[in-house]
């Protein structure tokens, strides 16, 4: 009877053990989520080696006060 009461009053058991469980459990959880990220990248990987960069031109995005479509169309035509 004294052991459960003593464990309930012990700060290490009340706070330390749950904290360690969260840290270790969180580590395993994050590992699973990051593995999903890398697996999806393998499936939908970018094929940079197939892309043609010879005719590439940098077109800047519009500023807040500019009209987005007309500015980009002008830049594409002048390229």
d(CA 75, CA 57): 10
Average pLDDT for 11-40: 91
pLDDT of 43: 80
Torsions phi, psi for 26 (to 5 deg): -65, -35
pLDDT of 4: 83
pLDDT of 48: 67
pLDDT in tens, 43-72: 876 666 667 777 777 777 778 887 777 777
pLDDT of 1: 67
Question: Which pTM value belongs to this model?
Answer: 0.45
pLDDT in tens, 21-35: 999 999 999 999 999
């Amino acid at each position: 009877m004294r052991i459960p009461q003593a464990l309930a009053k012990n700060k290490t058991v009340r706070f330390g053990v749950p904290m360690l469980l969260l840290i270790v459990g969180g580590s395993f959880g994050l590992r699973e989520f990051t593995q999903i990220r890398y697996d999806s990248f393998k499936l939908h990987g970018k094929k940079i080696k197939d892309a043609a960069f010879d005719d590439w031109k940098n077109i800047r995005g519009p500023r807040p006060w500019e009209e987005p479509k007309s500015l980009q169309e002008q830049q594409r035509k002048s390229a």
